[in-house]
A = this chain, B = another copy of it.
Amino acid sequence: MKPLKNDTYLRALMRQPTDYTPVWMMRQAGRYLPEYKATRAQAGDFMSLCRNAELACEVTLQPLRRFPLDAAILFSDILTIPDAMGLGLYFETGEGPRFERPVTCAADVQRIGIPDPEGELGYVMNAVRTIRRELQGEVPLIGFSGSPWTLATYMVEGGSSKAFTKIKKMMYAEPQTLHLLLDKLADSVTSYLNAQVAAGAQSLMIFDTWGGVLTPRDYNEFSLQYMAKIVDGLTRESDGRRVPVTLFTKNGGQWLEAIAATGCDAVGLDWTINIADAKRRVGDKVALQGNMDPSMLYASPERIEQEVASILEGFGHGPGHVFNLGHGIHLDVEPEHAGAFIESVHRLSRSYHAG
């Protein structure tokens, strides 16, 4: 392995001094890039792209060829684990992900096994190994997974949901069934992420896209508890270097203290919180990642720069900030606007790290 040339992102996650604020974008490899669409067309459908290590590597690297991003993130889907559990993931055009065999009862949950990361999920590890090799040490590679709660919502609802009716019925009527499912998912995510580290991932992120639909008590019991269990079980060092872990709960701004107390290294923020408030609340415990509204990339480069300046000023001086969007980049953003965003972060952040 080549030595890492740019470790700004890893240092920021450890709250160590850096020359500038590192930046990457959630879903940076994606449909807003014409070259992504071309590769995806070549692969056929979305999961075929994920299953082909060379093509998954290609789309992972595409945004890095355009922009001076400070990290690469594995190109994959958050639903690989439920798919490997036998639920039959497929994509309906315009409908998002669906499962052929959703989880409906205790018997369904009991039948579920822990997928072998080098077995059914071997294609993900092949992608990690390929990407890590092809990165040639330019920037660190982020591995990731969905959170147990978020995975469970898709598994029980059978796909995307608005009201989360089915999983909440299970949560309130049969909490022990849901806990068994979440426990199996936590074990699966732990082994999946550890395998990603063994395959070359240098940082890890857990996406809890749907934790924000819960009451504070249910969030602790059905989402955060399982993320904390995963954090406890993760390999935190590789090649003699810390492998930092970032937890991100969308709409989790009310629960930052609890998230920061899990032992994670960083907390991802969506745009509904002021980053200055977040730093005041948990900045002595964890690094912060975020948090520009992805819709800001529709605005002019001048307006984007203003917003970047405002968020940098909110976080203030010193280390511990990884700039990012508060959620994934929208598919119809102009690539030039993403470029202006990244350039603004790099240029404007230097003064916050001087001295």
A residues contacting B by CB (< 8 A) are: 163-165, 168-169, 171-173, 212-219, 251, 253-254, 271-274, 293, 295-296, 298-300, 303, 310, 330, 332
Contacts and interface: CB of A to CB of B under 8 A. Distances in A.
Nearest to A306: B172
Interface of A is mostly: helix
Contacts of A168: 293, 295-296, 298
A295 B212 contact: no
Contacts of A217: 274, 310
A215 B271 contact: yes
Contact of A295 (B165, B273, B300): B165
B332 A165 contact: yes
A216 B272 contact: yes
14 contacts: A165-B298, A165-B332, A169-B295, A173-B303, A212-B251, A212-B272, A213-B272, A215-B272, A216-B273, A216-B274, A217-B274, A251-B251, A254-B254, A254-B272
A169 B254 contact: no
B165 A293 contact: no
B216 A173 contact: no
Contacts of A215: 271-272, 274, 293
A117 to B, nearest CB: 32
B330 A272 contact: no
- Of all A-B residue pairs in the complex, the 7 with the closest CB atoms, nearest first, are A168-B295, A172-B299, A169-B298, A215-B271, A216-B274, A253-B254, A215-B293
